[in-house]
Amino acid sequence: MSVSQLAAKKPKMAEEIKHLPMIVPLPLPEEQLKEIVEKSKDWALMHGAAMRSKTQFSEDALFFAPFVLIPSAFPRKEFAKALEIQLILNELMHKVAHDRRFLTESLKETIKVDEFTGNLFRIYETVLGEGLTQRTTLGLLRSDYMVNASSTDKIKQVEINTIASSFGGIGTNITVFHRYILQELGHSDMLKNLPENNALEGLCSGMIEAWKIYGKPEAVIMFLIEDITYNICDQRFHEFKIREMCPQVRVIRRTLTDMAERASLGPKKQLLIDECEVGVIYFRAGYEPGHYHSQKEWDARLLMERSLAIKSPSIHYHLAGTKKVQQTLAKPGALDQFLNDPSKVEKVKQIFAGLYSLDFDELGEQAIQMAIDDPERFVLKPQREGGGNNVYGLEVRDAVKKMKDSEERTAWILMERIHPPLSTGYMVRPGGSKAPQLVDMVSELGIFGVVIGDAEKITYNKQVGHMLRTKVATANEGGVAAGLGALDSPYLID
Ligand code: ADP
Ligand code: MG
């Protein structure tokens, strides 16, 4: 089917989009709501479903993270599908990350105009040119989905994250939180529909496994962190869990600037900082330009990539997680290069939404025209992570018109907009003194995967858990750390 034929298949209008059922009768009586909200805030604070405040920052204080009081309905079959497909996605991303030709071809136009991706790519070429010191890679991935009400309620992938995939820690606690809330509301019979979640343990097992492969008892696991960590619980939980699961392992935290100032390579290219040898690096920073204050932070990234440390992600995994690569993988025939089993290819194709390049070729021109004709059907995305970078609604038209004659357009991709079904519930945020109101919301499911291996083989491939983020239906984006989203749990319905 050509791009223009695809464009002719219009999705249902927003008003036709259906509502998911309420899992308990709402609204709750006023007194009951007040009491359960008070309890739930304290539960959240006391179990670390919390963050540091951006507006009233103190290293010594936490605010509870925004949450949805009663878990949102999610179709059971689609949830099971997302879990099942994670092993295939792990394999796919591992192979893509190790395919120099594919990454180079996919990114060749983008890196000419997008400085950030260009810088990452230069590091990639440098370390490949020198020969990799560490061939083992640790992928800690999160594949994100929304149910698409315009395609008979099937999940569609929003993106796959290969760097700093967050909320494995707090998300695990939120499952326990919602068990508590349903019990408090007298619905113990419903607990069976809240799926178990061991994301934290699964992610930490991956890091410990990599540390064992590194093979030096005195080596540390280093978390590479931002200058200020607001989402601190979602990092400390990992740190504490690692110590609990494998008492010999020490975790240290360092910024890119710390690395620039004090890190060096030993005779075997061991990564050394502050008297420690780093066996594994877990990146919770380095995914956006603002994290690199100057050339010296870029030099520090190169130093880490040159080192013997096992990196999550390595530079090639980082590049494999770009939106441009996601779009290239949706091209006809692309998946077949990596997945030799046609049934796997078919499964992955099913979860892809329409993805279009804005390159200077016939398909690119068609995509530009589609975006101008029908902007609200699409989301326009640059090569960035961390939320707040995409363009939505009528602004898609303006943005595309503005960039259509400039090279800049090749740094963007166009994606079919997914229209999730609405759910109704209470969102609770810090600072709100009044009782929460019922609002219409939409949810995004994330599934965590761990994959370890090298260019020849995969030695570890697991699906390890989930997280659900929910935002008010009118918001374009719902990052929890970024501000509009709230933590939630999927309540499975048939
Ligand atoms: P980021 O790397 O910034 O997280 P995403 O691709 O995940 O980029 O987009 C950010 C948010 O924008 C998503 O969490 C989702 O809420 C919204 N979004 C992204 N793509 C789509 C889409 N195709 N349809 C609807 N909403 C989308
Ligand atoms: Mg995202």
Give tens-digit pLDDT for 1-24.
Answer: 444 444 444 444 444 668 999 999
Is residue 76 annotated as part of the catalytic site, yes or no? no
Residue 140 backbone phi and psi in degrees, to 5? -115, 95
Helix (H, G, I), strand (E, B) or coil at 11: coil
Helix (H, G, I), strand (E, B) or coil at 246: coil
pLDDT at 151: 73
User: Tens of pLDDT along 202-220?
Assistant: 999 999 999 999 999 999 9
Residue whose C-alpha is closest to residue 17's, from 484, 374, 418, 375: 418
For the chain, what is the mean pLDDT? 94
Is residue 417 annotated as part of the catalytic site, yes or no? no
Task: Give the DSSP letter string of 420-435.
Answer: PPBEEEEEE-TT--SP
Ligand 1 proximal residues by C-beta, below 6 Å: 144, 158-159, 353, 379, 381, 385-387, 389-390, 415, 417-418, 444, 477-478
Q: Where are the beta strands (DSSP E) in 100-228?
A: 137-148, 154-161, 220-225
User: Tens of pLDDT along 260-317?
Assistant: 999 999 999 999 999 999 999 999 999 999 999 999 999 999 999 999 999 999 999 9
Is residue 284 annotated as part of the catalytic site, yes or no? no
- What mean pLDDT is predicted for residues 32-41? 97
Question: How many residues are there in the chain?
Answer: 494
Q: What is the pTM of this model?
A: 0.95
SS3 content of the chain, % helix, strand, coil (to 5): 40, 25, 35
**Distance from the alpha carbon of residue 142 to the mean position of ligand 2, in angstroms:** 9
Q: Which of 116, 158, 484 to mutate to test the pocket of ligand 1 (most atoms within 8 A of CB)?
A: 158
Of 284, 311, 323, 377, the catalytic one is 323
Ligand whose nearest atom lies closest to the CA of 477: 1
d(CA 145, CA 78): 10
Is residue 109 annotated as part of the catalytic site, yes or no? no
Is residue 159 annotated as part of the catalytic site, yes or no? yes
User: Tens of pLDDT along 147-203?
Assistant: 998 778 899 999 999 999 999 999 999 999 999 999 999 999 999 999 999 999 999
User: Tens of pLDDT along 403-453?
Assistant: 999 999 999 999 999 999 999 999 999 987 788 999 999 999 999 999 999
**Distance from the alpha carbon of residue 448 to the mean position of ligand 2, in angstroms:** 13
DSSP letter for 153, please: T
- What mean pLDDT is predicted for residues 114-132? 98
Q: Where are the beta strands (DSSP E) in 182-309?
A: 220-225, 251-255, 264-265, 271-273, 276-283
**Distance from the alpha carbon of residue 248 to the mean position of ligand 1, in angstroms:** 39
Ligand whose nearest atom lies closest to the CA of 287: 1
- What mean pLDDT is predicted for residues 27-38? 97
Q: How far is CA 172 from CA 68, 183, 234, 493, in A?
A: 15, 18, 10, 20
Contact 373, 79 (CB under 8 A): no
**Distance from the alpha carbon of residue 392 to the mean position of ligand 1, in angstroms:** 10
